[in-house]
A and B are shown apart, each in its own frame.
Chain A
Amino acid sequence: MVDLSFIIGGPQGGGVESAGQIALKAFVVKGYNVLGTREYHSNIMGAHSYYHVRVRDGPARALKIPVDLVVAIDAESVLTHISDVGKGGYLVYDLDSVDVDATKIASMEPSLRSRLRRFFADMNMKPTVGSAVKVLEERGGRTVGLPLKDMLKKVSDTLGTPIASIAKTVNVIGLTAGLYTQGVSLQHIVKAVEAQFGRRPKILAPNITAARVAFEFMEQNIGNIPELPDGPHRGRVRMIASGNEVVAMAKVVGGLTFETFYPITPASDEAFYIEENKYVELGELSEKLELDKIPIAVLQTEDEIAAINMAIGAAAAGARAATSTSGPGFSLMNEAISMAVEMEIPVVITLWMRAGPSTGIATRTGQQDLLHAIFSGHGDTPKILIASGDHVEAFYDAIKAFNWAEEFQTPVVHLLDKYIASTITVLDEWDLDPHKVSISRGLRIENPPEDYRRYEVTDNGISPFAPLGSAPMLFSSLEHDEHGFASEDPVDREAMVEKRLRKFETIARSIPEEEKIALHGDPSARVTIVSFGSTKQAILSAMEELEREGVRVKFLQLRILSPFPSKAVMDAVGDPGLLISVEANAIGQLALLLRAYTGIEVKHFIQKLNARPLYDVEVVYGVKRILGEGARRVVVSGGA
């Protein structure tokens, strides 16, 4: 069984992300499943960032620490990740950095500097790279010091170009050396480098030379390492994509015609990828429209308020419209979301959560916006909220969100987070089959009668939808009568409140139970983990480990959180033995919802609050502490 984890660290802007992607590609080409995520500061250049990868022959569900290999492109990376190297693991570092002292690294967080100073002072050592290497070796780690300056010179001599022009290849040099320790062949590394830079020949050539120089160095200095065998997933075309990209893809094939955004991490990459693909060939639809390429209107707006309001306008005109944002932008959208409920507008808001409150940590993950999203908007403003647990769910959910928005003429929040946004995974053709969900637009009439009533009161609360421009009509954000004329009449008012309420009940009835929750594991297990969103795969991975250790756990994953699926949840929980809520927020937001809607009280929590992704080992640890010591709240703190 192959189960390999590694970290590639370096300064932001130093090619860490490219190196990570090359590594992922090398292992995918080799026939493995991969998962990789980027952890980075809110900074353009210089701050520490790292790529964290897991490689498995089975499903690569979650990230893992400690790792088998740390490739440290700079001194800060050695010192930051020294305790992430597992038993017998490798550290690849720059020999020229051994004298660098943590206290002299300007980009390092001051708190980490102090922790390192204390850590090394306890051993009467200076907080230098050299000390870190020594400590690691004493603990049984294996270290490979690279003479990076000499190696760069060799690359430059081979190509006959100045060192400055190829200095950026340090990432590929470090990565190649690291991959060598794991038995990846030069051929696979070269193939991955080609896949990364193939379209940019000027960058490709020096990087391939860099890979060769590094591989040669390792052969001469480390000696033979048995080659990693081929993985089971060979001989087919696969896809490597981030969560941002998968959602963008779903929107494009799922009928998006209008997308607005205001730049915000970690949502922007989704909009960028849609923009990149706003004019593409869409199979049979292109034939039908006699257009080689089909246009999607994508617009960067002046703020998130404009983004949501513009999407609302487009939706009222009949477009399949969406906007995407993160917590701060979603806060600005609140008033318009309330309007979309009152005006009964089909609009999708893709909400990529990050660590708050306020600007918080803009580039790190969290699950703190669940309650905010469900209860966004003033007035009684019920809306649909669906939370995706991984890339595959995110793909289908994005299409379903559109369908529901249009069928029920309501805002739909598609809830994701930074971890899914920037995590890259490998997908097969059958993972993203858009024919698994239909595309439905609800009760839409193109030629409404002259006396069309936009808010016709119906039994199920749904009025036929006619787009603006098809008849004289009124969409109104004021309370209104059936025609949409503003009305403060008490009878009209009550009728409209009741109509919207009935619509929400129709929504609750119409969405199939199996789409509202997912129950994983043995339904008769006495221990139930409840969670939502991107914790899914870490929990599933932890369950595999717990099962090996004889701990039976089931996992109730909430998929639709509004309307809250009370009955499905109560049925799934059954006799509540021991309930554990796993959440990346401090107040236990999911547990609060459970209490409010089902009366079930969750008494045990595993919480991740440091804005880093949840690791499977942390779930295992948390469950054991709760079962063993009856701990009420276990805060897990992995990640650099």
Chain B
Amino acid sequence: MRVLGGWWLAVVRRWADYKTEAWVQWCPGCGDFGILAAIHRALAELDIDPRRLVVVGGIGCSSRSVYYVRGSNVHVIHGRSIPVASGVKLANPELEVVVVGGDGDILGIGGGHFTALGRRNIDLTILLFDNSVYGLTKGQAGPTLPVGVKTKALPYPNVQDRVNPLILAYASGYTFIARGYAYHVNQLKDLIKAAIEHRGSAFIDILQPCPTYNDTMTREWYEERIYYLNEEDPLWDPRIRGPEDHVKIPRIVEKMLEFGDRIPLGILYQDLTKTTLEDRFEQQMPGYRKAPPALRPISVNGRAPVHPFKVFKDKLIET
């Protein structure tokens, strides 16, 4: 519960408060609906002010979520949601920034940015709507479609193999890595909450059937394979709190690699020891959070605050 200025009544937000007036234009039965519901519920339970929420999406069915979540949102070009979101967050670290997009957008055309974000550990949440196909362009193979699979839109079986998003995220330096399933709204909601609350770059690979174009990795296909790590092993604890927890890494990586007859869900890895880029900025430049790039004044009475001769003294010379 929050009081927002004098003109706004104190309210507890409900998930419906995060809906917008836009028509949700996904195909009937699309996994995106489940993910959207989980996002709405997670935001409500965290009581995030829609004005302080920035959802950034690229191009693809799932990226359209920016129109379906009430927030201060940005819909960008294909593959560039991560750099745009990074710019938003670094300019105003007080904002809650969430990236939405498909495997084509985030791991295909945007793959370079995906890995770079891990190195930075900016406090962002990346929700990957992973359906292994390019839906909007009628079903071409996505970067997570296994080799040899022939979905109905493909004239021949896929000749390129799948990337493992979890291992890629781990190698890149993400400090929160999880996998969810689109139709398990409740469990997914909890994962999204944990990802948003995590300080650092958080990544959730959300398995999502595409009923229109992916006739191989269907709801049935997934549901025969998925299981929750913490249900199978109640002692499952993927959190790294210090060097003593590094012994957990081989098991974590083993679980990240598991993708076939069985597919694990849940939080696979969370490193609580690493600083964020925002922390590193603040450390190098105390005052960064107090006077962030987006909000600080830049002039004095509409003029530059100082003459360059007063600042760049290393370039001065007396004649």
Contacts and interface: CB of A to CB of B under 8 A. Distances in A.
Interface of A: 25, 28-31, 195, 233-241, 245, 249-250, 252-258, 260, 277-286, 288-289, 291, 293-297, 299, 301-303, 305-307, 309-321, 335-336, 338-339, 343, 395, 399, 429, 432-435, 437-441, 467-478, 484-486
B90 to A, nearest CB: 5
B1 interface: no
Contacts of A302: 112-113, 115-116
Contact of B294 (A253, A288, A318): A318
Interface string B287-314: 1101101111111101111111111100
Given A309-B83, A467-B294, A297 B281 contact: yes
B276 interface: no
Interface of B: 22, 50-52, 54, 56, 64, 66-67, 70-77, 80, 83-92, 94-95, 112-113, 115-116, 281, 284-288, 290-291, 293-300, 302-312, 315-319
B297 A288 contact: yes
A321 B87 contact: yes
A237 B115 CA distance: 48
Closest 8 CB pairs of A and B: A313-B87, A255-B298, A283-B306, A434-B304, A285-B305, A257-B293, A295-B285, A309-B83
Given A241-B315, A277-B312, A314 B293 contact: yes
A314 B287 contact: no
A290 to B, nearest CB: 9
Given A467-B294, A485-B67, A473 B299 contact: no
Contacts of B318: 29, 236-238
Nearest to B73: A474
26 contacts: A237-B318, A245-B312, A253-B305, A254-B304, A256-B298, A258-B91, A279-B285, A283-B300, A284-B306, A289-B287, A291-B286, A295-B288, A305-B112, A309-B83, A310-B87, A313-B56, A313-B74, A314-B87, A317-B91, A319-B293, A339-B80, A343-B76, A432-B309, A438-B299, A473-B73, A474-B73
Given A240-B317, A313-B87, A316-B88, A472 B71 contact: yes
Nearest to A24: B317
Contacts of A295: 281, 285, 287-288, 291, 293
Nearest to B96: A469
Given A291-B290, A468-B72, A249 B319 contact: no
A468 B54 contact: yes
Contacts of A310: 83-84, 86-87, 90
Contacts of A257: 91, 293-294, 296, 298
Contacts of B73: 473-475
B115 to A, nearest CB: 8
A469 B315 contact: no
A313 B89 CA distance: 8
A282 B311 contact: yes
A634 to B, nearest CB: 38
Contact of B80 (A255, A283, A309, A486): A309
Nearest to B284: A279
A468 B92 contact: yes
Interface of B, helix, strand, loop or mixed by DSSP: mixed
Best-buried of A280, A297, A399 by chain B (most CB within 10 Å): A297
B22 A485 contact: yes
A236 B116 CA distance: 48
Contact of B91 (A245, A284, A313, A486): A313
Contacts of B299: 255, 285, 438-439
A485 B23 CA distance: 10
Contacts of A293: 285, 287
A297 B307 CA distance: 21
Given A28-B319, A277-B312, A306 B112 contact: yes
A29 B319 CA distance: 4
B319 A31 contact: yes
B297 A245 contact: no
Contact of A313 (B72, B85, B284, B303): B85
B299 to A, nearest CB: 4
A468 B305 contact: no
Given A29-B319, A240-B317, A468-B74, A314 B91 contact: yes
A470 B319 CA distance: 51
B307 A281 contact: no
A478 B75 contact: yes
Nearest to A242: B315
Given A29-B319, A312-B84, A469-B95, A289 B291 contact: yes
Given A439-B303, A474-B75, A278 B83 contact: no
Nearest to A307: B83
Given A295-B285, A475-B73, 9 more contacts: A234-B319, A239-B317, A260-B87, A297-B293, A306-B80, A313-B74, A336-B77, A470-B72, A476-B74
A297 B319 contact: no
Nearest to A469: B95
A248 B51 CA distance: 34
Contacts of B52: 469
B300 A288 contact: yes
B51 A314 contact: no
A233 B300 CA distance: 32
Contacts of A283: 300, 305-307, 310
Contacts of A485: 22, 67
A316 B97 CA distance: 13
Given A279-B284, A301-B83, A306-B116, A429 B305 contact: no
B207 to A, nearest CB: 27
A311 B64 CA distance: 22
Best-buried of A249, A309, A470, A473 by chain B (most CB within 10 Å): A309
Contacts of A252: 308, 311
B91 A438 contact: no
A478 B64 CA distance: 10
A238 B316 CA distance: 6
A318 B300 CA distance: 18
Contacts of B56: 313
B167 to A, nearest CB: 19
A303 B110 CA distance: 12
A586 to B, nearest CB: 32
Nearest to B86: A310
A279 B285 CA distance: 6
B291 A294 contact: yes
Nearest to B303: A435
A237 B309 contact: yes
B305 to A, nearest CB: 4
B130 to A, nearest CB: 22
B90 A299 contact: yes
A429 B95 CA distance: 41
B307 A434 contact: yes
A285 B311 CA distance: 13
Contacts of B307: 253, 283, 429, 432-434
Contacts of A30: 319
Contact of A469 (B54, B70, B296, B309): B54
B91 A253 contact: no
Best-buried of B66, B293, B318 by chain A (most CB within 10 Å): B293
A245 to B, nearest CB: 7
Contacts of B87: 258, 260, 309-317, 319, 321
B84 A309 contact: yes
Given A285-B297, A305-B80, A306-B112, A468 B317 contact: no
B317 A195 contact: yes
Nearest to A276: B314
A434 B300 CA distance: 12
A253 B303 CA distance: 9
Nearest to A250: B308
B294 A319 contact: yes
A595 B299 CA distance: 41
Contacts of B293: 257-258, 295-297, 314, 317, 319-321
Nearest to A441: B298
B159 to A, nearest CB: 27
Contacts of A250: 308
